[in-house]
Structure formats: C-alpha cells, structure tokens
Amino acid sequence: MVTQQITAIALRILSIWLLIHLLLSLPGMALTFPSFEIFHQQETPKWMLFGVSAALFALGLLAVFLLFKTSKSVLTHSKSDFPLALNEDSQKVLFQLAGLYFVVNALAYLPRSLAPISSAFELSMGDFLTPVGLLLQLLIGVWLASRSAFWLKLFQKLRGRG
C-alpha cells in the first residue's frame, strides 16, 4: 500500500467515527433543551432549539460526506504500484497529524469540562482533574504538531536507529 491508500483508509475510518459520534450525541442534544431554558431563566421557542440541533446535525453529516468523498478521491488518484515507504517527511507528518488530533480533541471537550467548576457549590477532585488532563493533552498535541523533528529523533533512538 502507498501512503495515499493509507490516507484514504484513515479518512474513511475518521468519517465513520464522526458519523457514530454524531449519532451518539443526538440524545445529549435532546437532554439539553430543558437545561437551556433553566439556565437562561426564560422560555425559548422549541423551533429554535430544534433548528440549532438540526443545523448542527446537518453540518456533521456534511462533514462525514465530504470526508468520505475525499477518501474516494484519494483512492482514485493513488498509484498502487509503489510499496509503502515511510521516509522522514511522512513520519513527521504523522506526528503532526497525531498532534492535531490531540489538540482538536482537547479543545472539543475542554469547555464542557469547565462547566461544573463555574456552577457547583461543592467541587470534587474529578472536577479539577478533568480540565487539567485536557490541558495536558492540549500541550502534548501542540508539542507533537510543532516539534515533530524532536519526536522523530526520539523514536528513532528508542528503536535503536539513531
């Protein structure tokens, strides 16, 4: 397999993961309707809440569709004659992609993890450790994405090649 084929497979897996995550988040969106009204202390029109949820769901489906189409496009343009060869540049790109994944994942869950801190009277250790863990994940992701040469050298040393 060539790097393009691996990229296409990764894009398909990402699109499937995003679709599953999107479907699993639907009950959570439905449960936020009553808490939204309690938080704002006023009645919000139901059509507005359903409209926002439908727009977010449609945007997620569009992202899934575009990722899947991109993977098909990558597969049609790939050359299947060449064996897989991971040179230093492609390994750096893999570290950068891993770092970007960590950054996006941490940024997606960080605001949600800060909500109990602002509204609770009594805080548990988990209320503090979850944001700390996500901040650590964010820092590691930024470090992976920005200093991929360091990580490449480190892993080459660990494998006994450097």
What's the whole-model pTM score?
0.48
One domain, residues 117 and 60 = no
One domain, residues 1 and 72 = yes
One domain, residues 11 and 74 = yes
User: Residue 105 is part of which domain span?
Assistant: 86-162
Q: What is the mean predicted confidence (pLDDT) over 109-134?
A: 75
**91 pLDDT tier (thresholds 50, 70, 90):** confident
Total structural domains in the chain?
Answer: 2
One domain, residues 8 and 46 = yes
One domain, residues 10 and 43 = yes
DSSP state letters, 130-148: HHHHHHHHHHHHHHHHH-H
pLDDT value for 80: 55
Per DSSP, the three-state class of 107 is helix
Sign of CA dihedral 39, 18, 128, 151: negative
Domain end, chosen from 66, 85, 104, is at 85
Which residues have C-beta within 8 Å of that of residue 153, sequence separation ≥ 6? Answer: 162
Residue given tokens 């949820």 in the structure block: 53
One domain, residues 4 and 18 = yes
Range of weakest confidence among 14-18, 55-59, 121-125, 143-147: 121-125
Q: What is the mean predicted confidence (pLDDT) over 27-44?
A: 68
Domain end, chosen from 85, 103, 130, is at 85
One domain, residues 1 and 67 = yes
DSSP state of 86: -
pLDDT value for 139: 92
Domain end, chosen from 39, 65, 85, is at 85
